[in-house]
Structure 1
Amino acid sequence: MLTKNLSEDLILDILSRLPVKSLLRFRCVCKAWCALITDPDFVKMQLSRSLATNTNLILILEEYRKIFSVDFDVCEQEAAVKLDHPFKSPIGYLVLASCNGLVCMFDDDGIVSEFRKEEVYGTFLWNLSTKTHKKLPFTPIEFPINSRYAHFTAYGFGYDPTTDDYKVIRVIQFYGARGFINDSNYSVSEVKVYSLSTNSWRRIEDIPFLSIQHRLGVFTNSAFHWATIRKTGVMGPNIAPSAIVSIDVKDDEYREVPLPDFVDDKFHMAIGVLGGQLCMLSNFSTVRVELWVMKDYGLKDSWEKQFSIEQPSVLGYFDKYIKPICYSKKGEVLLETKPLVEKSSGVLVLYDPHKGRASNLRLRHSWITVIGSLISLDAKDGAE
């Protein structure tokens, strides 16, 4: 055997640095390699190394319920490769989220009435590297007595390291005959959490904020995060989010993330994760954009401003949604920009903070980044 003179530790070290596509092929080399590559400890090692080095990164684009992968180093629409994904329903709007190489796919047409409450669309977990998937069990919407309509408000997908479990969260807000059900601006919602280890949903406490902005939650530090409007706030088309609310996957507790002090609090907030840290992009419309990173999670004084872009010299006028996505290998920041309209297509922008220059990439539509991994969806891999 070619590896007879190599130690097992050295083989592990070499293989854990390879892309998943190669590892899947190498399972056929011999029984020993197959056992090694499928071992849960090796799977975690390969994932941990990919996350630490920002390698095995793939861009996933969703366009009219079709999904494409793009090499992160190419970033051109012409390089997109169509993927055969498990979600075949032509109805609704597809929402994608990723965590540790798994993609969560939510089927959502926005509004569901009490007469259609049994038609809540499916949710899938999908490992696009191993081409395995799992359909989540159906969970009904529990309509309040005085509600006739429900609005799919927010989703999230993340990992609980304390229990080695993957969790999905679904937030639904209810309407009455004259709009949202409320009592002194207190809206009624339903929050449910799915656990992969138990393959079941459970309901948790109602979310203590009036409105969540941007459906897909940001996951970091074992918690889902959304930019929100407080219950004491006033709803309106030009009202900016006033807080970041989190839901911890370990205890289902809601917490408010402290924000840095601003001289001017009139800005549009978007949140993301850069280098594993919670970040916030503050869009002071027609003035500037600031990117902040929380270096020590949960501590207000640990927010650090990374850069400020004056308008309109670099990105043009900032009357649009701008969200931080990830770092490139060269330290550039990948941003998504799009009009402040739900479900509208976005454009990717690569900003170099050292040179103060930005370039538009030839990519549009909704998208996420996915790390290639060998994470298993348990014994029911590929089951419908």
Structure 2
Amino acid sequence: MENCRLSTDLVVDILSRLRVKSLMRFKCVCKFFYNLITNDLRFMDTHYEFHKAKTDCVLLETGLAVRENYLLYKESSEYNEIGCIYLDIPTTPRAMWVKCCKGMLCLISTRNDIAKLDNVDYLIYDIWICNPSIRKVKALPSVTVPYRLPYNAYVHNEFGFGISNDMTWKVVMLLEICSFDVSTNDQQITLVYSQVGGDSWSLRQINAVTSCRDIGGQFNDFYLSGLDMGLNNDFYLKGRYYWLANRFHDEPYTQCLIWFDMNDEVFGTIELPMDVTIHSISIMNETIALLGYSSVGDSRCIEIWLMIEDDNNTYWHKQASIDCVVDNNESWRPIGIWNVNGELLVSLDKKVGWDSDNSDLQFISLDLVTQQRNMFSVSKQRSITMASNPTVGDERNIDIIDEYDLIFSGEVYARVYDESLHFL
């Protein structure tokens, strides 16, 4: 930097406009670059806010009983190509949840069989934090739920991951512990697992609780068989974590959003419009976007509804309605907002049904202004693998392997993913 003719402020401004992939190479240029890119939180925030406005990447979750996760991103707008990275996530035999906030992924596994907790005294969860953009992963201390389980029980659980205004990272855990004995009352527990500095984390039980049975399209009968049918529509936005809840037992059937405030640590709900069937929830123009269907004549329409907040009132505005022709062998599924320019990402299934082989899944980008439809080809398939699980506090680099077999199975759900330099 001593021989640089540009001012420090100008150099920082230039670097903040570069993609993370380039910054990872520039760390080796000089000590100033290294400290700026790896340690300067103000620079990380500036870089994140700049690139968040240009996001063109989504985190895909696919599968039924076995979940898989991918990063899908625009690689070449000139040739209409998207890149795809398979996230080879470490798992335990039972389950895995993946949450996302500011480019970091929170990976959660349980050591217990949550469908049938015979002779298990306490629930134990393992948690990893991963940033695929900077290729780092770290294990957090495991969480033991401070509640002795009744005999012959099962559990509904949901999770959220976010950051509060005082820059404290938090994992919120929603647990509903149930017994097969109908005479035993269910136990609802909310735990907040928060960073208190460095590699230290604290676990607290709070008074605010909510039922998590209907989050993510889950049916109680499937819990009894150990299956969780339906992907979770959940995301972090502006200090709150949101889950889509399906009230199957209401007459008529209704949907709502359940939210948890990372600052005040309270729950709330937002009612959804009754005249649209919600398939997915995304983020558009820094607000919540509902993606669903509505019948118009003999055609099927994809509708986008935006949440509007005005003087503490919340209402829904229909932003767009897109006609799509569906034949007997084709299914259009809106799965997420592709970028801030107003493009909708749609999955195109050639076969429909529980026994379908969806490995031939294709994607279409719909311009919400011109309604132009572009089908994308998938190129340069890569796999991010965390070969060996790190011990608590141990920070590991992530390996990237070129060439793998690309297979999408079952339903697909997308969250907006913003690449970031942030890490714990």
Scaled to the shorter chain, the TM-score interval is 0.7 to 0.9
Residue 239 (structure 2) aligns with: 222
The size of the alignment, in residue pairs, is: 357
In the aligned structure 2, how far is the partner of 1:70 from the partner of 1:207? 33
The SS at the match of 1:196 is: strand
Aligned to 1:354: 369
Note the C-alpha offset of 1:217.
2.3
Match for residue 188 of structure 2? 189
Q: Distance in 2 between matches of 1:291 and 1:81?
A: 28
Deviation at 1:42, TM superposition (A): 0.9
SS in 1 for 2:215: strand
Change beyond 3 A, Cα 1:44–1:111: same
1:273-301 C-alpha deviation (Å, 9 max, x unpaired):
22321122343479544211114378545
Residue of structure 2 in register with 1:48 after alignment: 49
Distance 1:25 1:298, change over 3 A: farther
Deviation, structure 1 residue 13: 0.8
The 1-side partners of 2:310 and 2:151 are apart by 38
Identity %: 22
What's the counterpart of residue 155 of structure 2?
A: 151
Q: In the TM superposition, what are the counterparts of 1:1-384 in structure 2 within 5 Å?
A: 4-38=4-38, 39-54=40-55, 57=57, 59=59, 68-73=70-75, 79-82=83-86, 87-89=89-91, 91-107=93-109, 111-116=115-120, 118=122, 120-141=124-145, 148-160=152-164, 162-177=165-180, 188-197=187-196, 199-204=201-206, 205-207=208-210, 211-214=214-217, 215=232, 217-229=234-246, 234=249, 240-260=253-273, 262=274, 264=275, 267-268=277-278, 270-284=280-294, 288-296=301-309, 299-300=312-313, 302-310=315-323, 313-314=324-325, 322=333, 324-328=335-339, 330-335=341-346, 348-356=363-371, 358=373, 361=376, 364-365=408-409, 368-377=415-424
Letter in 2 for 1:71: Y
Q: Equivalents in 1 of 2:119, 2:308: separation in Å?
A: 47
Contact kept in structure 2, 1:16 and 1:42, CA below 8 Å:
yes
Q: How does the TM-score come out when normalised to structure 1?
A: 0.75
In structure 2, what residue type is equivalent to 1:167? K
Q: Distance in 2 between matches of 1:137 and 1:278?
A: 33
Give how far 1:51 is off. Answer: 1.0
Cα distance in 2 between the residues matched to 1:295 and 1:93: 36
**Which is richer in strand?**
2
Rounded to whole Å, the distance in 2 between the matches of 1:66 and 1:94 is 10
Aligned AA (2:33): W
Give the structure, 1 or 2, with the largest relative contact order (CA under 8 Å, sep 6 or more). 2
Q: Give distance in 2, aligned partners of 1:243 and 1:172.
A: 19
For structure 2, the residue ranges without an aligned partner over 5 or more in a row are: 218-231, 379-407
Structure 1: 5+ residue stretches without partners: 378-384
Scaled by the length of structure 2, what TM-score is found?
0.69
Alignment partners' CA distance in 2, 1:122 and 1:323: 32
| Contact map agreement 1:67 1:82 (CA 8 A) in 2 | yes
Partner amino acid for 1:251?
Answer: D
